[in-house]
Structure 1
Amino acid sequence: MELNNIDNILEKYFEATTSVAEEKALRAYFSGEEVAPHLEKYKPLFAHFTKAKEEVFTKQVPFKKSKPKFKFMYAAAAVVLLLGMFIGNKYIEQRKLEKEQAEYAYQQTKKALNLLAENFGKGTSKVAYLREFEETKQKIYNH
């Protein structure tokens, strides 16, 4: 292979723009006996890549079946959720009951005030008679 061509492909290789065929040509060139002296420093690099490509991992990796660390966490979360819903429902019902009691107390107070106003109106008409009686009495005593 032409030396200029190898230099160009090597430059493209380090810029990560080579094709698979060009990389194969570089591996073939650097695995051969005749390598240009200024490119001799790249020979161990490509020798390592060739050797690494042939390596296979053969050791068995034991997988432990892990136990759930929080086995009761799901049940506890469900209990807390249900408890929250129960307490929230009780709170809402209590608020409704308090509102109904307040409405009932308001209606009873309104009735009592209306009754008072009605009787107060009757009382003022009687006071007019008392005033007339008082004026007549004063006329009698003054004459």
Structure 2
Amino acid sequence: MDLDRIEQLLERYWECETTLEEEKELKKFFNSGKVPAKWQSVAPLFQYYEEEKKSGKLDGLFDEKIITEIQTQGPPEASAAGKGKVIKLFYNIARVAAVGLILITATYFVREEYINKKDTMDPYLADTFEDPKVAYEETKKALMMISKNFNKGRKEVRKVGVFSEAQDKVKDTEAL
């Protein structure tokens, strides 16, 4: 056989671009026993198929044997097929019931916990003002205090911004 052709076929084989005829040609070459040393590592791949055929485990009639075996067994009994569906239905219903039971139990315990702790709740979470106008004024006062502190912080950030601009100018002049 032409070794250049075999080399081309091998390259195409590794790229998954060979036809069945070309693969048969490769198998024939590697099973001939005249394999060059550079392809000795590849030879077992192609020799494997031939060895399996010779071992008799899977011959050419394997598919036909399996198909005839399946056909001779016939369809399974109708009662057995229906029984499996009933069991699956039962398991699915049991799963749904278990999930429902877990949700109901969890809801019950969370509700009980909330009712028991309602009296001892953190005073910051409870209403502290009876008059809505007083609550509004207190909230307004707290928000004004936060706003004032944010404005102080903004002034400090401006100072940092001026420093950063000066630093950038120095870097630009050094780069020139």
TM-score by length of 1: 0.41
Larger gyration radius, structure 1 or structure 2: 1
Report which structure shows greater RCO (CA 8 Å, sep ≥6). Answer: 1
TM-score by length of 2: 0.34
